[in-house]
Amino acid sequence: MNKVFWLIGLLVVGGGIYWWYSKSATSAEGDVEYRYAKAEKGELVRSISATGQLVASTTVDIKSKAGGKIVRLAVDEGSLVKKGDLIAEIDPADTKASYDQASADLTSAQARAAQAQANVKLQQANSVTSVQDAQAALDTAKIRLERAKMEQVRQPALTQASIRSAQAAYEEAVENKKKLELVTIPQRRRDVQGTFDKTKADFEVATAELQRQQRLLDQGFTTKQSVEKATSALASAKASNQLAKTNLDNLEREISADLLAATTAITRAKAQADQARANGSDTDIQTKNVLESEKAVRVAEINLQQARDATINDKIRGEEYRAAQASTVRSRVSVQNAMVQLESTTVLAPRDGVVTTKYLEEGTIIPPGTSTFAQGTSIVQLSDVNTMFVECAVVEADIAQVRVGQKVRIVTEAFKGEKVGGVVERVNPAAKTENNITAVKVRVKVLPGAKIRLLPGMTATCEFLTLEKKDVLLIPSQAVIREGEKTYVQVKSSDPKMPARKEIKVGEVGNEGTEVLDGLKEGDEVVTATIDLKALRETQEKMQAAQEGGGLAGGQGPRMGTRQTGAGGTRPGAGMSIGGGSGGGAGRAGGR
């Protein structure tokens, strides 16, 4: 069985070699044939590549904060939407009821807050008034206490002075009565009696004088004027006598009255003295007044402290007001949330993008999107495809050649002939190993201007450019022969079967060729491969013999030698050399 497969393989290889030989041979008689490529100017590129997937710049699940039945779904997968476009409509009945209830709760909370605020103001006013009244009462009680203490200190002296004054008045009244009885009354009696006796004597003398003058007038010894004068003197003496008699008659009554007045004054003075002595108890009364005033002060102090303690109610009322305010805030937030829920029954696109996934259909009933145990129900997935990225894994052997900002060429599986520009945006700081392959995730940003439609999820190959030189002279890398520090190529001469050996100076080596700095000019043709025709014919003959005879003589398979001209120098052999180049293929410098 193994021999059969071996023969089939030989036949396939032999047929390929024969085809190559028949197509490329230019002389049936030549033993060696050469393949040439022109030195051309072009772009030299060296790169590494990695494969990944296209992803959108952002992908968001559009969810509804409102719950209910989806009555309309306005988009489908692949729909392009702009910011503000309608996504879905949800039945608002349940959400409207929740909003009305939250509004009623807010009104009630605001009323309670207003009442609590009024209670705070009233409590504060009452507290201020109570403290002021208690302070005034305390000040009044202290003043009364000070006055009572002053009266207590002054009262004994006042009492003694009053007693002494009353006693002196009493003694003076007694002395005045004695003086009245022993001195004044006898003296008055003598004076009144003496006056009466004198006026009586004067009256008698005036009467005798008038009689004498009358007799003298009758006798002619005096004048009538003298008689009239004597008459007048008699009348005056008579009046004085009568007044003196009246005073004498009234004297005893006046004396009795004065005695009665003196007695009364003594009685009054004695009563006042007794009263002054009785007033000695005012000291005890003042002591009691002091004690009562001290008690009043203590009561006022207690009342003041109680009034001040009552100000704690201000804080309590204030806390009640703050609690009511907090309840108002909570209710207002509930109203706002309910309004958001109500407004969320109309789901709009938050940004431009394309609908990549549709999770639900019309008629689906979804729960509210904001609760402790739920984060909302996804309706559609919206991706921003204005900016696309390729996320690929670069093996660790190549990651050293990748840096942020580096240019990248992107080719997709869907559009293999189109290259899109890109730039490295991020290189992850850590590598990951999967299936025994260690790689680093790299994020490449797709530059704008792509002529093809890129979709998230497409497979893309990123070519990270490590070298890029334009308008340089290039030859296939397999044409370069290195011997020590010198570099050569075989250049086509006048005889195509006899190429000339020429030393050149090379520069950078790219994916599709090597840069020539000196030794060649554009259009020169260099050898890229040699074909040993004799070896090919021998191999073909052996393969035919093996096919006819069931095997190769000596059990040996065909020999294919190579005469490869590459970076490693020339290795003689029998056969054909078709090189792949360094890091790539022959590219434009392919054989002919």
pLDDT tens track for 68-111: 888 888 888 878 888 888 888 888 877 777 788 888 988 988 89
Q: Which of 225-229, 392-396, 490-494 has the highest mean pLDDT?
A: 392-396
What spatial distance separates the first Cα and last Cα of the chain, rounded to whole Å? Answer: 40
CB 565 within 8 A of CB 40: no
Of 340 and 295, which is predicted with more confidence? 295
CB 10 within 8 A of CB 546: yes
Question: Which pLDDT score is estimated for 391?
Answer: 93
Coil, helix or strand at residue 562: coil
* Cα distances (angstroms) measured from residue 578 to each of 24, 53, 498, 565, 586: 13, 34, 19, 9, 9
CB 461 within 8 A of CB 411: yes
Q: 131: which 2 tokens?
A: 């403290």
Q: What is the residue extent of each domain of the chain?
A: 10-39+476-589, 50-91+350-469, 96-303
Instruction: Indicate the CATH number for domain 10-39+476-589.
Output: 2.40.420.20
CB 497 within 8 A of CB 34: yes
CB 76 within 8 A of CB 86: no
Instruction: Indicate the CATH number for domain 50-91+350-469.
Output: 2.40.30.170
d(CA 588, CA 451): 25
Q: Specify the CATH number for 96-303; select among 1.10.30, 1.10.287, 1.20.120, 3.40.1350.
A: 1.10.287
Of 174 and 9, which is predicted with more confidence? 174
CB 370 within 8 A of CB 65: yes
What confidence category does residue 50 fall into, taking pLDDT thresholds of 50, 70 and 90? Answer: very high
d(CA 474, CA 479): 11
pLDDT tens track for 394-449: 999 999 999 999 999 999 988 888 889 999 999 999 999 988 999 999 999 999 88
- In DSSP notation, 249-271 reads HHHHHHHHHHHHHHHHHHHHHHH
Coil, helix or strand at residue 388: strand
Q: 210: which 2 tokens?
A: 């008038």
d(CA 525, CA 476): 11
* Amino acid letter, residue 179: K
Q: Is residue 181's pLDDT more than 70? A: yes
CB 237 within 8 A of CB 202: yes
CB 30 within 8 A of CB 495: no
Helix-helix angle 533-549:2-24, to 10 degrees = 140
Residue with tokens 């007694």: 174
- Give the per-residue SS3 of 465-486: EEEEEEEEEEECHHHCEEECCE
